[in-house]
Structures are given as structure tokens and as C-alpha cells.
Amino acid sequence: MDGTLSGLVERLDGPLLRTTHIIPWSCPVPAFGDLSNSVVATLGLNPSNREFVDHNGKELDGAARRLHTLKSLRLTRWSQADDTHLQLIHESCRAYFWRNPYNAWFRSLDYILSGAKASYYGASANACHLDLIPYATTCKWTELTSSQRSSLLTTASDVLGLLLRGCSVRLLVLNGRTVIENLQKVAGVTFDKVAMRDWTLPRQVGDGVVGFAFRGAVSKLSGVDLGRSVIVLGYNHNIQSSFGVTADVKTAIRTWLSATVKGLI
């Protein structure tokens, strides 16, 4: 983790990242939670800006702070960061769920994970959260241009592979269609896809949004050999932001995850 984190911090001073709406004063987030103790990891696109700012866009501070920034580390630019600063960033990521986690986002995912007997929380936590791109942006992924998205994926495409290669995660749970599509790109694979009738999101007009389950495995990401095969399970609905994700749909996805992982991890 330390070598990967150092490289991520160095990239923050690069010209490419300054054109992609990354919050320039926010630290990179290789993992939410303790990657070294995790056998399961959820996967998203990139950290939310709400990890660093409140609903008014003001930097979180004091007891509300979740992760480090230039201000909290008393730096003026990232090139000044030394081993002590890197350790502080690492620790804030590792202990994320013990402090002030963004529960409005993570509790829903933790409910899904409970189907695999995994959790981010508590003394027996055995799960963490990873992102394809470990940098928070000022706007949502859908508001970035296609060029900016491509630049971010290209810049950070090796990070997930490096992190997975150095840990014991055996199962990746993919949250949403966009995550699934982009992981398939960087892994060079196509996951099996099955329509799930009881995952359909209701709409006032029409038949609703069909749910799909995805299953596969990855052993290499962006040229990084993981040294093993990691099981991949996913669903096309983004649990937090897809319109109309009901409690019944969440329960159905959790039940599917529970039945699918039996004997796998």
C-alpha cells in the first residue's frame, strides 16, 4: 500500500489531474477500511466529494473530518508530503469506518455485503471499499466529459491491480452498471449477465428498469498480474443513486449474493 499511495500523491501535482476536476487539496483514497484484513471488497467509480466537503461545499474540519487534506497535513502542495504524511493518510483510510464514515452511502452497501457474511464495521470487519479511480472529483462522474473520464481511468488504471495484488481480497462486489462496464474494459473480460426479474425498479409508466446480475473473475488488471483469480459479482443498479431502488430490491440482491458466494469464499 505505501508504495502505491506514494505514487498516487505524486500524481496529484501532475498537469493531467489538474484538468479533470479532481479536488486538488484532497488526499487520494486507495481504500476505505483495512485492506490488509479484507477478504471482500466493494468497488465503485471514485470517492464522493462528500468525503471532503459538506452539503455547502465547505471543507470538512474538526470532528467532521473524514480524510486528510493539504490543510489537515499543514502542507501547501503535495510535493511536500514525506513518509510521515503518507502514514497519516494511510491510517485515516485504514481506520475510516471507526471515525466518521459517510454512512448515508456505506450503510446500504454494508447491508448488501451482509449476504456474504462480510462487513465494513466493527472489530471483526472483513470488508473494505475500493474505487477504480482513487481521487475525489468536484462533480459527479456523469458530469465529467468523456475525455476527462478517459484521462482519469488512464492515469489510475493500474492502481486497483496493484492494490489487489498485495492483499487477500477474494471477492469483488460491483455496485452499478458503470462500474461493471469500466472494470470489464481495464480487465479485458466480459462478465456473464443474467436478467433478474425481482430486481426490476418500478416506474409509473412502462415495465420498469430491469435488473441484471453479473458474474465472472479477474486475474489481471491493466497489465498487472494479480497472482490469483478474484471472483467478481455485480448488479446493474447503483444502490445509492439509481432512482427507485426499493427495500425489496436491496433484499433480493443481498439474497442473491448470499446464495452465489456459498462455497466460493
What CATH number has the domain bearing residue 158?
A: 3.40.470
Average pLDDT over every residue of 146-164: 88
The contacts of residue 57 (CB under 8 Å, 6+ apart) are: none
CA distance 237 to 253: 10
What are the DSSP E strand ranges found in the chain? 40-44, 127-131, 171-175, 192-201, 209-221, 224-235
Count of residues in the chain:
265
Q: Report the mean per-residue pLDDT for the chain.
A: 91
- Which of 62-71, 182-191, 214-223, 237-246 has the least mean pLDDT? 237-246
- Which of 12-21, 22-31, 99-108, 134-143 has the least mean pLDDT? 12-21
Tell me: the pLDDT tens digits for 241-252? Answer: 767 788 999 999
Report pLDDT for 265: 66
For residues 52 and 60, the answer to whether their CB atoms sit within 8 Å is yes
CA distance 200 to 197: 6
For the full predicted model, state whether its pTM sits above 0.85. yes
- Which of 71-75, 122-126, 137-141, 220-224 has the least mean pLDDT? 137-141
**Residue 38 pLDDT exceeds 90:** yes
Q: What proportion of the chain, given as a percentage, has pLDDT over 90?
A: 73
- Quote the domain boundaries for residue 76: 2-261
Structural domain tally of the chain? 1
CA distance 253 to 261: 12
